[in-house]
Amino acid sequence: MQLPHTPPSMPRRNMGACLLNLGKHQEALEEYNTALELDSSNLNALHNRGVAQKQLGQSEEALESFKAVLEADPTFKQSYRGVIEASMSQEDYDTALEWVDKALEQDESDFTLVTDKANILLKLGQAEESLAWYESVIANGEATEQVN
């Protein structure tokens, strides 16, 4: 039963969220695919499909899902995180750095992104540049125990 004024893909998207929370990633992926068949413009379903794909180890597919969200809406902050994490899981630190910079253009005050940039620079062997980013996190009182 569809509720009045509810887009047809919303129940599927909500079911997918429940399944993701239960750790049923394959079933969630199927729900998100169905939601996208019903409404291909549903960016929440597209982003969450990427989350399910990433959880299933489908990093390349997840990357494409997250990038498609950002192509449609460059302000969809969560998908930047998805691209960054998927790139890092593939050890593609150059791509991760590129997307951290894009995300920082959207929200330069997000110290999670600043920490990500420091971590990625360190992985790329750019320790001095990395240190400057870590210091900015510490100076702003946003450092985690790991950063300290």
pLDDT tens readout for residues 97-106: 999 999 999 9
Measured CA to CA in angstroms, residue 48 lies from 75, 117, 131, 140, 148 at distances of 16, 24, 33, 32, 32
Using CA atoms, how far apart are residues 96 and 126, in angstroms rounded to an integer?
Answer: 14
Using CA atoms, how far apart are residues 55 and 7, in angstroms rounded to an integer?
Answer: 26
Using CA atoms, how far apart are residues 146 and 76, in angstroms rounded to an integer?
Answer: 27
Confidence of residue 140 (pLDDT cuts 50, 70, 90): confident
Both structure tokens of 78: 């969560």
Predicted model pTM: 0.82
Helix axes 59-72, 77-89, angle to 10 degrees: 150
Both structure tokens of 56: 């299933």
